[in-house]
Structure 1
Amino acid sequence: MMDNFENPIDAFRLVGGRPCLDFTNTIDGRSSAHPQECLHSLADLLKWCLRVGLLQEELVQGLLEQAKKQPAAATTEFERALALRETLYRIFSASARGMRPAADDLAHLSTTYAATLIHACLVSGDEEFAWAWNDEEHWSGYLLWLLAKSAVELLTSPDVRRVKECPGNKGCGWLFLDTSKNGSRHWCSMEGCGSRAKRQRQYRRQRSAIAQ
């Protein structure tokens, strides 16, 4: 959870461990009574993609130019991305609690991924193969493909069992991949919710000692 939700995007704390999880964390205090939106435009989303390494700066600038030329498509892309974000949150939150995600949410992710995958192709590198976007005319689907791809890869890997949801007492609700050896990570970060919880424990112990 961020200490100040108005922090610029390049200062966002990245704790998820996967782009799809960090994407769900672009709402601060998600489980609180007053969650705060951190993304307000497609430009914000593109800057966030640059921040997490999904896009390179040159491509971000190119997509921004495309968005200026097609504002309606840019608005639609942004709205679809936010809708996908909420779907991903519900899916991974349910998984973190040992529950089955809703069939409608899995269908939404599946449909989004399948619809964008037709514009991707396999390319060969020096030592391995990879998926790449291959349709500049359908630039508006590129972000959805990157986000859906990250989610599908995590969901279909054993790592999905390591996804957890931060129980921070200010309604954090951020999702993260627990990569600790013994699976003991409890908070989104020790600098944020973990530190606050520690201070609260110390305060309660002090109050208890005084009362005695």
Structure 2
Amino acid sequence: MSHMTSAEASARQELSIRFVNTVAWRRRDLVEERIATPDAALKWLVDVELADRQLVTQLKARWKSAPREAEAFLATMHALREAIYQIFAAQIGGGKVDAAALAALNRWLGTPFGGLALGPAGSGLRWQPTTEKVVPEMLLKPIAWSAVSLLTGPRAQKIKQCQDERGCGSLFVDESRAQNRRWCSMGDCGNLAKSRRHYLRAQAED
């Protein structure tokens, strides 16, 4: 089952939040993995503008003769994502941050930012490789820094998890004035929740 919120599709959404939300239905026993293959990982990196199609073509060609490198990259990507999610979840719940998750994120902060730099892209800037021999893991560094920036900035207390009863569990940053947003998207989970409440009230009145 596919589940794509309007918030996730927004270019304004935090990179690290979009990354965590590549696992859908986190409040269910059976989650939905959206980055299940190395090719899916590369497609996602293009979608969030951490890689361009030329780089993806280069990596795909390289991985044909080095499938273990592709699988290792995918495992690294998943590990970073789950470490960030665990830290976000602790922030949301007010619990203690898992030491292993924190150590995993800190390892990314302790590595040089070589191989990647800001460069012009249209009217703005984007991350771009600076070397011909690309180390795929370097493409994940901006995600780690996005998580750290969010966790240590003024919006840290605004990180929330969708309360949809079906088990959505997508994360979002609550920018509402009242700070009472409960759903990742009013157009999706919010409307469904309201429809369910209306149905139950109608049933109770019959």
Common fold by TM > 0.5: yes
Alignment correspondent of 1:192 = 188
Alignment correspondent of 1:119 = 114
Q: Which runs of 5+ in 1 are unaligned?
A: none
2:30 equivalent to 1:38: no
Q: Deviations over 1:98-142 (max 9, x none)?
A: 233212211110112323x342566687xx999765444352222
The structure-2 alpha-carbon separation of the partners of 1:22 and 1:135, relative to structure 1 and needing over 3 Å to count, comes to same
Question: TM-score, normalised on structure 2?
Answer: 0.83
CA contact (8 A) 2:51 2:139 kept: no
The structure-2 alpha-carbon separation of the partners of 1:136 and 1:146, relative to structure 1 and needing over 3 Å to count, comes to farther
User: Post-superposition shift, 1:150?
Assistant: 1.8
The structure-2 alpha-carbon separation of the partners of 1:134 and 1:124, relative to structure 1 and needing over 3 Å to count, comes to closer
CA distance in 2, matches of 1:21, 1:158: 16
SS of corresponding position for 2:181? coil
Select 1:54's aligned residue among 28, 44, 50.
Answer: 50
CA contact (8 A) 1:95 1:101 kept: yes
Select 2:86's aligned residue among 87, 90, 99.
Answer: 90
Q: Deviations over 1:55-87 (max 9, x none)?
A: 333333333333334322111011110111111
Amino acid at match of 1:70: A
Question: TM-score, normalised on structure 1?
Answer: 0.81
Alignment correspondent of 1:15 = 7
CA distance in 2, matches of 1:21, 1:89: 9
2:91 equivalent to 1:108: no
CA contact (8 A) 1:87 1:108 kept: yes
Amino acid at match of 2:114: H
Q: Deviations over 1:158-184 (max 9, x none)?
A: 122211011111111111111223322
SS of corresponding position for 2:166? coil
SS of corresponding position for 1:158? coil
CA contact (8 A) 2:6 2:187 kept: no
Q: Which runs of 5+ in 2 are unaligned?
A: none
CA distance in 2, matches of 1:124, 1:80: 26
- Give the percent of matched residue pairs that are identical in Structure 1 and Structure 2: 31
